[in-house]
A and B are shown apart, each in its own frame.
Chain A
Amino acid sequence: MISVRMRVNGSEVSVALEPQVSLLDLLRGRLGLTGTKRGCDQGACGACTVLADGERINSCLALAVQYEGRDITTIEGLARDGEAHPLQTAFVRNDGLQCGYCTSGQICSAVGMLAEHGAGAPSAVTEHLCSAAALTDAEIRERMSGNLCRCGAYNGIVGAIQEVVGKEAVR
């Protein structure tokens, strides 16, 4: 057993666990944060996406012990002062979900993706690496392609992200 401390959704967490326990199993099993989903356990589907210090990661491929001292945010921790994250409401309005199983991962991934884009990170479809790429539908689709949705809600997800991007731009 190894003891690990981290912040999860703003709260200090201290647990003793075996070194092979994934961050996903820590969240779902020990902390009861079942909003983070298991779809494949091999980093192929993105359903387990959470934010580590604001960066999106597949929690099924992350060993919990590696996240000592880090700040983890899950779908349950996105709301601020009781108010849903704009992406959460935009997903509902744009019907960017059906069964809901990939949804937590899609939303966490989108939060991380917007931060990456905001920091100037290019994607495989970015034409000019030196200048900031506009967040076109094609850019969003490329950057979100690590998150599978078998129900096929992709159009609604892109619509939801664009709606939030548009609002941020206006602000």
Chain B
Amino acid sequence: MTQTEVRTPPLRETTGSAVGAPIDRVDGTAKTTGAARFAAEHPYPDLAHAALAHSSVARGRITAIDTAAAAAVPGVLTVITHLNAPAMKPPPKISPFNLVSLATGTSVNYLNTDEVHWNGQPVAVVVAETRDAALHAASLVEVAYQRLEAVVDFAAEEGNAEPQKSNALQSGGARKGDARAALAAAPVSVDLRFSTPQHNHNALEPHATTAAWDGDRLTVHEATQGIAWTRGQLALRFGVPERNIRVLSPYVGGGFGGKGMVWAGTVLAVLAARVAGRPVRLELTREGVYRTVGGRTPSTQRVALGARADGRLTALVHTSVARVGRVGGGGEQITSQSRHLYDAENILLQQNLVTLDLLPNTMMRAPGEAIGTFALESAVDELAYKLGLDPIELRMRNEPTVNPLDGKRFAHRMLREAYELGAERFGWPERTPAPGSMRDGRWLVGMGVASAYHPSWQLAANVTVRLSADGGVLVRCAFQEMGMGSATVVAQIAADALGVPVAAVRVEYGDSLLPGGPAAGGSAQTASIAASLLPAAEKLKRSVLALARRSPESPLRGTRASGVLARDGGLYPADGRGAGESYPAILARAGRDSVEARVGSDTRVGAMVSQARTVGKVLNDRRRWVKAACGAHFCEVRVDPDTGEVRVTRWVGAFDVGRVINAKTAASQLRGGIVMGIGMALSEETLVDPRTGRVMNPSLAEYHVPVHADIPPIEVHYLDEPDPTMPLGLIGVGEVGITGVAAAVANAVHHATGRRVRDLPITLDKLL
């Protein structure tokens, strides 16, 4: 089953103007009528339901497990523990040569071991006729442990951090000149310590899997950001060929990185279906998501800046400590933006890690930069006050023309213009710089700025484009749509490339039977698909022209490919002279139902080739250019002087994200990042018990994400200048929005109150 969407009519009848138009998202109707079916919503006859029991110790061995009470609950079919679970293959070792291995959430072979590696690890799966019965029975599983010493307190372990290894995909430490000496000699300096807590994604749809075996063939409806990775991991774990597995994920209720890896629930649902001999659905509870799906690492960071009296930076030091789990997780590029944002004479960047007996961390919207920009951009603001300079002026005096570390060229950089545009729209000149100098009645008013920065990426994508005799176009690619607007922008790009209206384009995605697509990560999906879709459309045009040229009656006879333009649903001479022909006319005369073109191959070798080609291109690109999205955030807060309550009252963001394909959905993505950043600034915090390693607030009642009342109108502006090194000139917009947000809030809170809060979140107690 693949996507067939109800589409809204295009804004214009003419063709060639879809890219850039703010059209409604193509899956909007399905989502507003309840017709869209998510992973837990596919009916199967004889469906059983599974629930997890979680360990209550951080590290140890299971010495006894009593499932009698659970098994006695009416409706329970089976209770699976490490004592009776069938063998699974262990997760693959993480290797850069096998991208599927990167999706290993943890290295634990669930229910195939008596070892416990974190507080919350699944120790049993109950399968029952109803979800209620499975959940109740899971609560009755009694487990005895031999407890082993566990290291779980991030704050206590910070001093034991070790340098984080860098790799080809992720930047690590860096050094230019002698930043320590320059800092010591600088006439003006700041040397500051910051901390950020663990965050959890909290996509509104809890992770869910519906799994059905038919012999050794498996169908999985999954809430995932990576269809191919899910299929690859399940093939390895259950020892069946990938071609036997179909993963469907046309609708995903938010991911933000949390659905990028393959976590316990997915594997155990498939295992439970095999044991029960029936289709099984496992919908994680909200608590279950916290216990089995990693969050964003907490961090401590030091940023030290040295400057001359005129504000020119002589030293930039940014170091970080983050954590990984002993059974997985990876370092983040927390100092990434500090490589590119300021033209400092001397730079020192270091990233360090501690290893704890906790559920491994994972990527969460802008891993690295989301929290790294908080520290760097707060410190720059603090330095501006010390220098008596406007914080934007300080940034402009240190705006580099080439990459500060190594002199590489920027593929595209309009941060200066973003600040100019944002300052004008926000009314920055009306701000009086002294802290506490602006009031609205009894409220203290503060205004802050910060830079946004996120590198741009591309992944491999295989795409087919089919033109039918009726002039309709079908684009097929196994990409993911979690609300980013991917399906909509793919339709827009295809429409212009082939000169048809958006309404004539149908896009199929979210199904592993389709040509292999990129995982949704790194803000890379749209650029990755465009890089294959555009040449596929070009091939298709040439094939169609070749059909036309074969016929003596065709007005296009003798026309060369370079001389035709795809427009108005057909091919026409580019110079406007002479007649062209509609696609249906060409296909009808040739007696063809359809013409198809393809870029990329899904054979094993083909997939490896396209992967290698893309990675090679990206790495080669990186040798030549620094590519990124950037922007300027402007935040206004009001602070209650008696209670310390902070309200964000106004927001303006001006972004350089290359060419914007859909102004409406891109604005929503950028706003979404800002909203999540406001949560990070003011309320979001996963509390880990430093004694037991147990998450203490695993619910939406106790982990506070922003609600309607917390979010003011957010103005989003684009510079809309294409990046000449990217397909169509576009840069992904999924992550840049959240970067810099927490710093802009913290800087505004300082402007309102004179208080610098360097430990997120900025809760009331920190302002009293």
Contact = CB atoms under 8 A, between A and B. Distances in A.
Interface of A: 18, 20-21, 25, 28-29, 32-42, 44-45, 47, 74-76, 79, 84, 88-89, 91-93, 95, 97-104, 107, 137, 140-142, 144-158
| Residue of B668, B701, B708 with highest tally of chain A CB at under 10 A | B708
B709 A98 contact: no
Interface residues of B, number: 61
Interface string B15-34: 00000000011011111111
Contact residues of B: prevailing secondary structure: loop
Contacts of B34: 33-36, 74-76, 104
A33 to B, nearest CB: 7
B202 A75 contact: no
| Residue of B34, B131, B699, B705 with highest tally of chain A CB at under 10 A | B34
B285 interface: yes
B35 interface: yes
B470 interface: no
B37 interface: yes
| Residue of B38, B256, B700 with highest tally of chain A CB at under 10 A | B700
B656 interface: no
A157 B708 CA distance: 9
A102 B483 CA distance: 11
Contacts of B665: 95
A42 B286 contact: yes
Contacts of A100: 27, 30-32, 36, 251, 253, 483
Nearest to B716: A155
B197 to A, nearest CB: 18
Interface of B: 8, 24-25, 27-38, 40-41, 43, 130-132, 201-206, 251-254, 256, 283, 285-286, 482-485, 664-665, 667-669, 671-676, 699-701, 705-709, 711, 713-714
Contacts of B29: 84, 88, 92
Contacts of B485: 98
A42 B703 CA distance: 13
Contacts of B674: 152
A150 B132 contact: no
A57 B724 CA distance: 52
Nearest to A77: B34
| Residue of B202, B204, B205, B667 with highest tally of chain A CB at under 10 A | B204
B515 to A, nearest CB: 24
Contacts of B36: 100
Contact of A101 (B35, B38, B131, B283): B38
A30 to B, nearest CB: 10
B483 A99 contact: yes
B132 A21 contact: yes
Contact of A142 (B27, B672, B675, B709): B709
A20 to B, nearest CB: 6
A155 B671 contact: yes
B204 A88 contact: no
A32 B256 CA distance: 28
B377 to A, nearest CB: 20
A42 B701 contact: yes
15 contacts: A25-B131, A29-B131, A44-B701, A100-B27, A100-B253, A101-B204, A107-B32, A140-B708, A141-B709, A142-B709, A145-B708, A150-B676, A151-B668, A152-B668, A152-B673
